[in-house]
Structure 1
Amino acid sequence: MLSLIGVAIIVIGLALRLNALLVVLVAGFSSGLVAGMSPTEILAALGQAFTDNRAVSLFIITLPVIGLLERNGLRDQAEHLVQKLRAASAGRISFSYLVLRKATNAFGLQLGGHPAMIRPLVAPMSIGAAERDLPEEALSSPRFKALSQRIRVLNAVSENFGNFFSQLIFVASGGLLLIKSVLDKSGASVSLADMALYAIPTALVSLVVVFVLCRRLDARIRREHQLLREEYPQPSGQTNATPGKDTFTTSATESHS
C-alpha cells in the first residue's frame, strides 16, 4: 500500500489547491523513498524524465509572442473584423475552427491550441459576432456577460474536441505510436493504418456533436439579442439589423445604407 503514497499525495494536494508543481515533486520524492531510492537517484530520475519530455514545454515560447500581439491590439482587430462580416456568428466561427483543427490534425499539423488560437483570435471573433447590432448599454449588462461566458466555453469545446478526437487520425502521431508500442508488448499486432482508420468514426461523431452545440448556441444568442433589445432600446436615429433565423443556413444578402 505504501507504493501508492504518491497518488494519495497528488489527490490530497490538488484537492487542497496547493501548488501543483510542488505537489508533484513531493509525490515523486515520496514514491522514490518508499521504493528504496536514494535522494540522488530520485533527482536523476526526475531530471531524465524532464529531458526526455522537454518538447512538452515548448508551448511556453509562444506565450510572450501571444502577449505582445494582444498588447498591440490583436483581439480588438479580430472583433472589428468579424463585426463587418454579416454572415459570421459565434456558432459558425466555433464550428469552422473545429473543422480547421480536425483537418490540420489529420495531416499532423499542430495549428491551434488555447493560448495560440482560442484566446487571441477565436474567442474575440465569436464575442464580436455576438456584440453586433447591440447598444453599448447591453454589452455591459449581466445578461450579455453570462452569454459571453457561454461563447467562450463553446470555443474551448471546439478546441478540445478538434484536438483530442482527431489527433489519432495521423499515422505518425505520438499518441498512436504509444498505443501501438503498448499493443506490441502485449502481443497484439495492429498496423498504424488500421488504428488510424478506426479513429475516423470518433472524429465524425464529435463533429456532429459540436455542430449541434453550435446551432443551440446561435439560437440562444438570437433569443438573448431580442431580450437585450427590449431591455436596452437603441436611441432613436440608429437602426438595428435583425439577425437571421438560422445562422447555419444561407441567408439573403443584406443591404446597407
Structure 2
Amino acid sequence: MGLFKRNPFGHILFVKKWLIRIVGAMTHRRFRGFNELQIEGSEIIKNLPETNVLFISNHQTYFADVVAMFHVFNASLSDRDDSIKNIGYLWNPKLNIYYVAAKETMSSGLLPKILAYVGSISIERTWRAEGKEVNRQVKMSDITAISKALDDGWVITFPQGTTTPFKPIRKGTAHIIKRYKPVVVPIVIDGFRRSFDKKGIRIKKKNILQSMEIKEPLVIDYENESIDQIVEKIEYAIEQHPSFLKVIPQDEIMAQEQLNKLRKWKVKE
C-alpha cells in the first residue's frame, strides 16, 4: 500500500489506519472493561463479500454504536469468534468500512471530524436540521456517496435515523436496497443507551450488560418486493417493529436483574 494511497472519498488510507488504531485503543475498555460487550453471530462477518454489504441496525448513541461495530467486525476478521479480547486485531484493520451519519453531527467538533475521517458518509437529513423539523428533498450527491461506499466496501446505516427507539424506518434505506441490491445484514444492539450519554462519548454507568447480535443476511427479492415490504422486513430484522413493544412480566424483569448481577461480578477472562 502506497503511503499516500487514497480511498474513493480522498482519505489517505495510511492516516485512516492510524486513526482506527488510536481510536480503537482508546475505546476498547468501554466494551471490554468498564462494561462487557456480549457478541453473538460474529462468524457471519467472515463469510461476507468484500464489497456491496449494507449493515442495518437500531441506534442508541451517536458514536458508540459504530465504534463497537468497528471493534467487532475487525476482531471477527482476525478469527475472534464473538470476542474482542486482545486488541491486536486493530493493527491491520479493514479500511473500507463506512457508516452513514448526519452531516451536522459529524462537523460539530474535533472528535466528530476525526471519526468522520475514519469512515463517515455524511449526509443531510431530510426531516430534521439544527433541532427543527424540516422537509427537504434527498440530495443526489448523498445517494451517490452511499453508492460509492458500497462499491468500495461495507456500509453501516441506522434506518430509523434517530436514537429514539421504535421510530419509523426511513424509506430511503429501502430505496437504496432496491437500487443497489447489497447483501443486507441486520444487527441488534442493546445496553449502549444505559452505558453512555446520548453522544456515546461519556460513560454514564459501568457494569452494564451490552449486547450485539449479528443476524444472517436478509432474503430479499430485489425486483418484486415493494418499498413498504422491505421497510417492514427491516423493522422486524432490527427488532423495531411495533409488535416488539410489549409489557414485560414482573417475574421476567426480576429474572433478568438477577442475571445482570451475576454478569456484573463475573471474572473477566
| TM-score normalised per structure 2 | 0.26
Q: Which protein is richer in strand relative to its size?
A: 2
Greater gyration radius: 1
Higher relative contact order, chain-length normalized (CA < 8 Å, sep 6+): 2
| TM-score normalised per structure 1 | 0.27
Q: Which protein is richer in helix relative to its size?
A: 1
